[in-house]
Structure 1
Amino acid sequence: MSGDDDERSFFAEKPAQLLATMHSPAKAGPPAKARGIEEKPHYLGHRDRLRERFASAGPDALPDYELLELLLFRLIPRADTKPVAKALLARFGTLAEVLGAPVGLLQEVKGVGPAVALDLKVITATAQRMARGEVHGREILSSWQQLLDYCRSAMAFEAREQFRILFLDKKNTLIADEVQQTGTVDHTPVYPREVVKRALELSATAIILVHNHPSGDPTPSRADIEMTKEIIDAAKRLGISVHDHIIIGRKGYSSMKGLLLI
């Protein structure tokens, strides 16, 4: 039998086997892990893309949860941070409220341990320090918006009332910024004589009073107005001016001077 006959005989005898071989899918090789190749976690590509968007388009191109993700990348290096970021915002509402939340409440969110909660508070403290740097040592009345921004970053999301005093010199330059009292969720005890005494110790010639309303509503209460007038009277007798009393809330701020209450 010739070579051609052998070839024809082979195809004639085994058509089924050949067709099965031609049309059967190739066997999959062993998984990457079995071949000693470590698979890249799916979230790493997402992190790279998010960083690129931030670098090319700037922070305004990212919604709050993605900006929070970027922060969490450094704090949680080996996990998908998107669910954590969304859970934090679902719990607290806004990025500012996340950063302003107490450590204990932050840790109630799944994926946020003590170290992550503390690191978030470090970020908050850094932002507040930057805001304070914008007003410290400057003529405060010409830096009013920076002052409001600082007060909001420092006090708007506090769980308890704080009474803060900004002490100014004769050029209205900020020389000291102190929290004099911390109270409950709706009351802070304030003593006019202590306010004036501290102003004299610092050689301040003017002060600005600031306190927060944890309820979020910055509307002055009757007690707020009466207490402010008592401080004004006590300070005036010693030549100290009270420029304003600002009330800070999550929903904004109010100025007693702007409202013509003092």
Structure 2
Amino acid sequence: MEPTSKATSITNTAPQRRALLGRQLPTHEDVKAFLCTELQDVTEETLALLLLDKAYRVVHFYQTSNATLSTIYPREIIQRALRHKAHSVVLARGFPSKEPRDNRTEVKLVKALKDLLALIDIHILDLIAVTRSGCVSFTDNGWL
């Protein structure tokens, strides 16, 4: 049985996302553009996990509603990254409003997860907040 979080488990909620497998996102701007497009019209808070291989090709994309980094067990993210043999992970949060909620707790959680994943040579590249008014990269702003 797969582990689940307190509030929800990470699930692939859109079967058509399988078409993304192998799509290359070679630059940080490509990754941001992809996630902004995917999450800009969410109707509830959403957590997404983009898993990439060494050539920055998509190996899987997960998205779940009503979840935050604090409601997902870190081991669930780690297991999924290992299962799909990901080299890199990009986390994203979609917000239905024009402004994301306070993110200090999530930054701490991502830094801890980043340290854990580094032990097994998987890299967290960014946490991207997506709102109706645009995207904010935590890496670009020096928050990660």
TM-score, with structure 1 as normaliser: 0.44
- Once the two structures are overlaid, the 10-residue window that deviates more, 246-255 or 170-179, is 170-179
Question: In structure 2, how many angstroms separate the alpha carbons of the residues matched to 1:157 and 1:136?
Answer: 22
User: 2:136 aligned with 1:254, yes or no?
Assistant: yes
Q: Please tell me whether the aligned partners of residues 163 and 182 of structure 1 are also in contact (alpha carbons under 8 angstroms).
A: yes
**Match in the other structure for 2:65:** 182
Instruction: Label 1:200 to 1:155 Cα distance change in 2 as closer, same or farther (>3 A).
Output: same
Structure 2 Cα separation of the partners of residues 258 and 244 of structure 1: 8
- Aligned pair partner of 2:81 in 171, 190, 199: 199
> 2:34 corresponds to which letter in structure 1?
Y
Q: How do residues 31-42 of structure 1 correspond to structure 2 at under 5 angstroms?
A: none
Q: Which residue of 2 aligns with 1:164?
A: 48
1:157 partner amino acid = D
Retained in 1: the 8 A contact 2:128–2:135? yes
* Higher normalized contact order (CA 8 Å, seq sep 6+, divided by chain length): 2
Give the structure with the higher percent strand.
2
The SS at the match of 1:217 is coil
* Deviation by residue 1:175-198 (Cα, 9 ceiling, x = unmatched): 11111x4216xx562221110111
Which one has the largest radius of gyration?
1
Per-residue deviation, residues 225-261 of structure 1 (Å, max 9, x unmatched): 1121121122112111111111100111111110111
2:113 corresponds in structure 1 to 231
Query: Structure 1 256/247 Cα, relative in aligned 2: closer, same or farther at 3 Å?
Result: same
Code of the residue aligned with 2:59 in structure 1: it is I
CA shift in 2, pair 1:147/1:136, >3 Å: farther
Change (3 A) 1:172 1:220: farther
Give the deviation of 1:172 after TM superposition: 2.0
> Structure 2 length normalisation: TM-score?
0.75
- 8 Å CA contact retained: 1:245, 1:255: yes
Q: Which residues of 2 match residues 108-147 of structure 1 at below 5 A? A: 136-142=21-27, 144-147=28-31
Superposed CA deviations along residues 70-118 of structure 1, whole A, max 9, x for unmatched, are xxxxxxxxxxxxxxxxxxxxxxxxxxxxxxxxxxxxxxxxxxxxxxxxx
Distance in 2, Cα, partners of 1:137 & 1:157: 24
Q: Output one character per residue of 1:1-55: Cα deviation in whole Å (capped at 9) or x when no partner.
A: xxxxxxxxxxxxxxxxxxxxxxxxxxxxxxxxxxxxxxxxxxxxxxxxxxxxxxx
Sequence identity percentage: 23
CA RMSD in angstroms, aligned pairs only:
2.6
1:173, distance to aligned residue in structure 2 (A): 1.5
Q: Match of 1:54?
A: none
Q: Structure 1: 5+ residue runs without aligned partners?
A: 1-124
The structure whose residues are more often helix, as a share, is: 1
Whichever residue aligns with residue 44 of structure 2, its letter is: R
Structure 2: how far apart are the matches of 1:157 and 1:138? 22
Aligned residue in 2 for 1:77:
none
State the one-letter code of the partner of 1:228: V
